[in-house]
Structure 1
Amino acid sequence: MQRRIVSLWFPRMASDRILRSRPIHAPFAVTSHEKNTERLYCLNKEAMQLGLTSGMGLSDAKALYPDLLTREADPHADERFLKLLARWAERYCPWVGLDGQNGLLLDMTGSTHFFESEDGLLTDIHERLQSSRLHVRSGLASTVGAAWALSHFSKGVAPSGQLKATLSPLPVAALRLDEATCAVLLRLGLRTIGDLLATPRATLGRRFGLPLMRRIDQAFGDQAEQVNAVAPDVSYAARLNLPEPIGLYDDVMAALERLLVRICEKLKTQEMGTRVLLMTCQRVDQASVQVELRLARPMREVASILPLFERSVRDVDAGFGIDQIRLEALAVESLPLKQLETGCTQPKKTDALSDLITRLGSRIGLERIKRFEPADSHIPERSFIISPAAYCDAQGEWKEQNLRPVRLFSPEPIEGSDKSPPDTFRWRRMRFSIAQATGPERICPEWWLDDPNWRSGMRDYWRVETRQGRRLWMFFTPQRPAWFVQGEFA
């Protein structure tokens, strides 16, 4: 089956997008900030007829035509509009890809027979786009490079088997070469693709290298080039328009449950789970109220998610009534299906803990609920990290090691200079006498880290039980003889 590619180029897409909603019959230009100055980015037909060109400074254009209407460019809006055009182009074939910032590529292989002819296909595309106030140039050929060359430097259809005759009269820029390469070719007298084909291939390869040869081969089908289809944007959102305004708590929860069922079914089909849900209630006075629910783990069970909305929904100000409710899953993660264990009816402990964190987080915020995580360090202060419990998995295991105190604080000096713990000492304005001491446990500093708290060198730690009932964690520094208290056991 002969491959057929359609290239659509929208040279005035930025201006056409803006003027579709507000059509005018006057010179208009879209501007962009480049090299510390405002320049013309895209012009409509009337502005081009005045002699203005893209890249011209805005001040120069205003000096020539003070009545020129302008508007600042919005690349994100242009990108969204181009994706909408790609979805529209799927009416002709299922495989549509983007071509730069203002073009589309349609792989029409096996689909051209639905139209009377290939010329009729292009005519139909032009008529539909022109009715939507969009200017387009098109080309159809058996390769991506040839179709692009026709849409940008010519028009029409390149018949199968006649690529050489169709492309030869076109300029060398039709091969999608950079400006520097085109300038060198023009200085050498190679102005058209036919001139390149008449030049020995070895000569071109030695002078211009692989990029030029690759573009020639792609244009004539000697090197494959695929059309990368636009990945569909999956939206996990649902909306419910109400025939009569509602405001009661039970009515809002009933509507929310219907929306949750639709979203959770889609999440289950895609094997995804959500961590953030946003409910937007549109009131009859055109005001909107939003309720955001953050989850400690990816979820897609309606029965588990719906009760978590109860407290927030009770606080919603319905005003004179709510006539539309929209629910959207903002943050989704992969949540593969799992085999259920035989006879297992109780939820896992990890899931129950995550649900508890979610309920608490809905009141005080998920970021305020912390979790201790083990860290790979033998230094007491560095043996753990504190992370938000909702955004980290408790996968690390606390290694079995010497007993550590429940409370850990900065070292506090006490009196004493011998290597053995002093029989009596004063700490925090209190006098203690030692009943039992266990140790020492020598801990050396991590030489690769410059920690000011460990510049005194190694430490000998002791577990001390006092007659007054306090159980302390003390250490002695041999380099600079001194005693410190750093922790207290429960």
Structure 2
Amino acid sequence: MFVGTRIKPTRRIVSLWFPRLASDRVLRARPINGPFALTLIERNANRIYCLNKAAEHQGLHQGMPFSDARAFCPDLHSMPADIQADQAFLLTLHRWATRYCPWVGLEGDDGLTLDITGSAHLFGDEAAMIYDMQQRLARAGITARPGLGVSRGGAWALAHYSDDPTPDDMQAALAALPVAALRIDRKTGIALQRLGLRFIGDLITTERAPLARRFGPDLLLRLDQALGVQPENITPLKDPPHYGVRMTLPEPIGLCADVMAGVDRLLVQLCQKLATDGVGARVLLLTLRRVDQQAQEVELRLARALNDAPRILPLFQRGVDGVDAGFGIDQLHLMATQVETLPVQQTSHVSNGGKDQLDDLITRLGARIGLENIQRFLPADSHIPERSFIIAPAAFSEPDDAWIASQPRPTHLFPPEPIAGNTPQPPDHFRWRRMALSTGRKYGPERITPEWWMADENWRAGVRDYWRVETRQGRRLWLFFTPQNPAWFVQGEFA
């Protein structure tokens, strides 16, 4: 009996470098003819972050001060860089690259690394695969430089420093590249050039012991990684978690009670997944498949992220009651389409039932009129009465107890309404909204100055002296007097 030895296939790594990732992303959505650059503030100066080919032909380069760039190229178009949008675009390209192989990882902020070992034959061969990559990216308006090698470091070096992405002799191709292709820091690269070691081939033929003593083990590690002697792993991105559960029924159901019983079982499974990851569902989608292959959907938007099945289940009742079951429902699918990380809570004997009941009430009302239409008042950092609060949706904000006011404020504010009077003291008798009123008690004045730094056309200059006036007719009003232009106004009423 002959026992064969399995030969491990040689790894084939493709490195995709996007030298103009940021500018390509912007120009795909908004094409511009001529030089274009993105700017970013670095080292207390506005510098060029990324630029297109037309700007490079004008002599501009990355890291150049923007003022110098405008002097060299007066017709330069520019925009501020958006680092987060660039990273999101790179993740989109990462997902696209999985069409060639499942093992795809990020390479810095502007590149991808693909392990195409065993998958190149699906596109013909390696050259055909790389050609397909280049053509698809070019049609999408994305500049890309590929590199193919037996190691991650070698592929990276070819993508960044070689004009031939698929050389026949890998070691000879690497030997002709500069030492910067080893992914070493700039200081080490300059020191090697001063010693006359300008190319990777010079390092290969040099004794390793003196290099290790002079530059440490990192230089030799990078050299071995580029040549494929030292393995280097590619870490693919994890797939986003999927929070969905499904139930297929042996017999169709049509009663609301039966559907709610199925939703109860699905909620328990789903909430266990959510609790394990420390997240809660904010939006839930229940899909009910009928026997005629039509689907009914029930969306539940929660006022707070939850992973508590008993609390969520009753909130589905109204949506399930409105479902048309047809000839029966044979499948239920429940998915959390939007989740949020839940804060860590310390267990306590103190009940939080009041807040939970309020959140459930907001959810029930929101299912009828929309969560955005249920609003609450929140304090704002301003001493101007009409600017001392903001209105925010209750489902997307937390109540704030920091209502601080040195003087009482009316519960009802409205635009200033003039009344008769021009003396600093509140008038004894005045008419307001067709009512004849007499001043009883009065408290004040409270002088408030405008916020001159705010663009408010109604009040940008002058001061106001506010008074709390209790009329003999029972009205409790908030009046103010303008000394610079003597006049009285009513702006609020106390409850």
Q: TM-score range by the shorter chain?
A: 0.5 to 0.7
Is 1:245 equivalent to 2:252 in the alignment?
Answer: yes
Fraction of identical pairs, as percent: 50
Q: Within 1, Cα distance between the matches of 2:289 and 2:177?
A: 53
* DSSP-derived class of the 1:232 partner: coil
Which of 443, 452, 468 is equivalent to 1:438? Answer: 443
Is 1:429 equivalent to 2:434 in the alignment?
Answer: yes
Q: How does 1:85-484 map to 2 (within 5 A)?
A: 88-89=102-103, 97-98=105-106, 103-105=113-115, 125-126=118-119, 130=121, 139-141=149-151, 144-146=152-154, 152-154=165-167, 166-169=170-173, 194=201, 219=226, 227-342=234-349, 344=350, 346-484=351-489
| Contact 1:411–1:486 under 8 Å retained in 2 | yes
User: What are the Cα deviations for residues 321-351 of structure 1, in whole angstroms up to 9, with x where unaligned?
Assistant: 2232221112211114533224x4x434322
Q: Within 2, Cα distance between the matches of 1:302 and 1:234?
A: 19
Q: What CA RMSD, in Å, does the superposition of the two structures yield over aligned residues?
A: 4.2
CA change 1:150–1:380 in 2 (3 A) is closer
Letter in 2 for 1:267: L
Q: Number of residue pairs matched?
A: 369
Q: CA deviation at 1:194?
A: 4.5
Q: Within 2, Cα distance between the matches of 1:454 and 1:217?
A: 71
User: What are the Cα deviations for residues 429-475 of structure 1, in whole angstroms up to 9, with x where unaligned?
Assistant: 22111111111111111121131221351100001111111110000
CA change 1:8–1:214 in 2 (3 A) is closer
CA change 1:218–1:428 in 2 (3 A) is farther
User: What are the Cα deviations for residues 110-140 of structure 1, in whole angstroms up to 9, with x where unaligned?
Assistant: xxxxxxxxxxxx5xx25xx646989668753
Q: Within 2, Cα distance between the matches of 1:217 and 1:440?
A: 81
Q: Within 2, Cα distance between the matches of 1:10 and 1:146?
A: 9
| Contact 2:275–2:307 under 8 Å retained in 1 | yes
Q: CA deviation at 1:149?
A: 6.7
Q: Within 1, Cα distance between the matches of 2:355 and 2:411?
A: 24
Q: CA deviation at 1:103?
A: 5.0
Q: Within 2, Cα distance between the matches of 1:451 and 1:319?
A: 59
User: What are the Cα deviations for residues 259-284 of structure 1, in whole angstroms up to 9, with x where unaligned?
Assistant: 21111001111111111111122233
| Contact 1:167–1:193 under 8 Å retained in 2 | no
Q: How does 1:28-107 map to 2 (within 5 A)?
A: 79-80=94-95, 82-83=97-98, 88-89=102-103, 97-98=105-106, 103-105=113-115
Structure 2 gap ranges (5+): 1-8, 17-27, 34-89, 131-147, 160-164, 182-198, 207-219
| Contact 2:315–2:364 under 8 Å retained in 1 | yes
Structure 1 gap ranges (5+): 12-31, 38-74, 90-95, 107-121, 156-164, 178-191, 200-212
* DSSP-derived class of the 1:480 partner: coil
CA change 1:5–1:101 in 2 (3 A) is farther
Name 2:215's counterpart in structure 1: none
User: What are the Cα deviations for residues 129-185 of structure 1, in whole angstroms up to 9, with x where unaligned?
Assistant: 6469896687534xx212567995257xxxxxxxxx8512459689997xxxxxxxx
Is 1:488 equivalent to 2:490 in the alignment?
Answer: no
CA change 1:83–1:321 in 2 (3 A) is farther
* DSSP-derived class of the 1:453 partner: coil
Letter in 2 for 1:470: R
CA change 1:311–1:266 in 2 (3 A) is same
Q: Within 1, Cα distance between the matches of 2:428 and 2:30?
A: 77
CA change 1:173–1:263 in 2 (3 A) is farther
Q: Within 1, Cα distance between the matches of 2:365 and 2:332?
A: 25
Name 1:25's counterpart in structure 2: none
